[in-house]
Structure 1
């Protein structure tokens, strides 16, 4: 199992850590994308 942010490409092989709040890598990548101008609105994948 893996958690993956499709916007930034950040992956975590440990879903339980993400559910427990280990979001630093995801937040850092999302903020960096916004600074670089890649922070478009998030769209639902439904």
Structure 2
């Protein structure tokens, strides 16, 4: 979901919200690692 009105993802979760459907967010380090699709490495 995005807060920018012109984004493709601006309202892509509203239907789920209206239906009371939620998706779980990974919070523990292990859960985040397991759910990760991409990894970004920032170097400076």
TM-score in terms of structure 2 length? 0.29
Larger relative contact order (Cα-Cα within 8 Å, sequence gap ≥ 6)? 1
Q: Higher strand share goes to which structure?
A: 1
Q: TM-score, normalised by structure 1?
A: 0.28
